[in-house]
C-alpha cells in the first residue's frame, strides 16, 4: 500500500517512513501544506498520515480538499496529545482515525491495519478465498497445510486484488498501489502482466485460478461471492 506522510518534523517523518517501508508500504513525503496538496491531487494514496501544524498552514484543510477531489485515501491525524478539538474536527471532516504524539509505530501500524479491515469489511486479519487462506500480518498464503511461496510483489498484488474483489483494477491502479507513484513515462504495463502470470502459475499448482480474471484491455479482477 502506498502512504503519504505529511509532517514537517523531519526526524519523525523519516522514522515513520523507515518503519512503514519495513512493513512493505511505499512511502512518499511532504513537509508542508502546499507540497502535500499537490501530491494528494496528482496521486492516489491508500493512507495519508497528517500532521496538522504545518509551516504554511493548517493541515486540516487537506482532508476537505482530498474529499472534494474524490480521493479515497484514509487519513490518520498525527495530533498533539490532548488536542481534543483537533481530533473532533478531524473526525468530523472525514479523517479515519488519529494518534496522539508521541505514539508508538506499531500502534500506528495496527490502526492502519484496522482501517484497512473496516474499509473492506473484514473481521479478521486473514482472507479466505476458495481453498486458500491469506494471513496478512504474516504475509503468507496457504493451501490447506501447504505454503504457497510468493514473492513480496506477488503477495501485495494478490492482497490488493482480494481487498477489491469483484472490482476491476486497472494495471495502472495496481502498479501505483504496489510501487507507489510512478512517472507515466516509466510506466510499463508488462511488469504487471508478468507478475500476474507468475502468480497464476504458483497458485494453479494447488487449484484452479479461473477466479483471477484478466479483463481485456483494462486490467484484472478477482471474482468471488
Cβ closest to Ca ion, residue 50 vs residue 127:
50
Contact region with Ca ion (CB under 5 A), list: 4-12, 82-90, 143-151, 214-222: 4-12
Cβ closest to Ca ion, residue 8 vs residue 35:
8
Beta strands in the chain (DSSP E): 2-6, 26-30, 47-51, 53-54, 57-58, 74-80, 97-101, 126-129, 132-135, 140-143, 146-148, 169-170, 212-215, 219-222
Q: Select the residue whose beta carbon is closest to Ca ion and give its number.
A: 53
Contact yes or no for 81/90 (Cβ under 8 A): no
φ, ψ of residue 101 to 5 degrees: the values are -75, 145
Q: How far is the CB of 78 from Ca ion (least distance, A)?
A: 8
Candidates 28, 46, 51, 176: give the one binding Ca ion (CB under 5 A): 51
| Cell representation of residue 170 | 486497472
Cβ closest to Ca ion, residue 53 vs residue 57:
53
Contact yes or no for 202/149 (Cβ under 8 A): yes
Candidates 53, 93, 180, 211: give the one binding Ca ion (CB under 5 A): 53
Q: How far is the CB of 48 from Ca ion (least distance, A)?
A: 15
Candidates 8, 65, 97, 213: give the one binding Ca ion (CB under 5 A): 8
Contacts of 65 (CB under 8 A, 6+ apart): 37, 40, 41
> How many residues contact Ca ion, by CB under 5 A?
3
Q: Is 86 in the site for Ca ion (CB under 5 A)?
A: no
For binding to Ca ion (CB under 5 A), which residues are involved? 8, 51, 53
Amino acid at each position: 500500500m502506498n502512504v503519504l506522510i505529511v509532517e514537517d518534523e523531519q526526524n519523525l517523518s523519516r522514522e515513520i517512513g523507515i518503519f512503514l517501508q519495513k512493513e512493505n508500504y511505499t512511502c512518499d513525503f511532504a513537509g508542508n501544506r502546499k507540497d502535500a496538496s499537490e501530491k494528494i491531487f496528482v496521486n492516489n494514496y491508500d493512507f495519508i498520515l497528517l500532521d496538522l501544524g504545518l509551516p504554511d498552514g493548517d493541515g486540516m484543510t487537506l482532508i476537505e480538499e482530498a474529499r472534494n477531489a474524490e480521493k479515497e485515501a484514509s487519513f490518520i491525524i498525527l495530533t498533539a496529545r490532548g488536542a481534543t478539538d483537533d481530533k473532533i474536527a478531524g473526525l468530523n471532516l472525514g479523517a479515519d482515525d488519529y494518534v496522539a504524539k508521541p505514539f508508538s509505530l506499531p500502534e500506528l501500524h495496527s490502526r492502519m491495519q484496522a482501517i484497512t479491515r473496516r474499509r473492506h469489511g473484514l473481521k479478521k486479519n486473514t482472507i479466505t478465498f476458495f481453498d486458500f487462506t491469506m494471513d496478512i500480518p504474516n504475509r503468507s498464503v496457504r493451501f490447506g497445510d501447504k505454503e504457497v511461496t510468493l514473492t513480496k510483489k506477488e503477495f501485495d498484488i494478490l492482497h490488493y486484488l482480494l481487498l477489491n474483489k469483484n472490482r476491476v483494477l486497472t494495471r495502472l491502479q495496481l502498479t501505483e498501489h504496489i510501487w507507489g507513484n510512478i512517472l507515466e513515462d516509466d510506466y510499463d504495463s508488462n511488469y504487471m502482466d508478468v507478475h500476474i502470470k507468475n502468480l497464476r502459475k504458483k497458485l494453479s499448482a494447488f487449484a484452479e485460478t479461473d477466479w483471477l480474471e484478466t479483463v481485456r484491455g483494462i486490467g484484472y479482477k478477482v471474482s468471488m461471492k
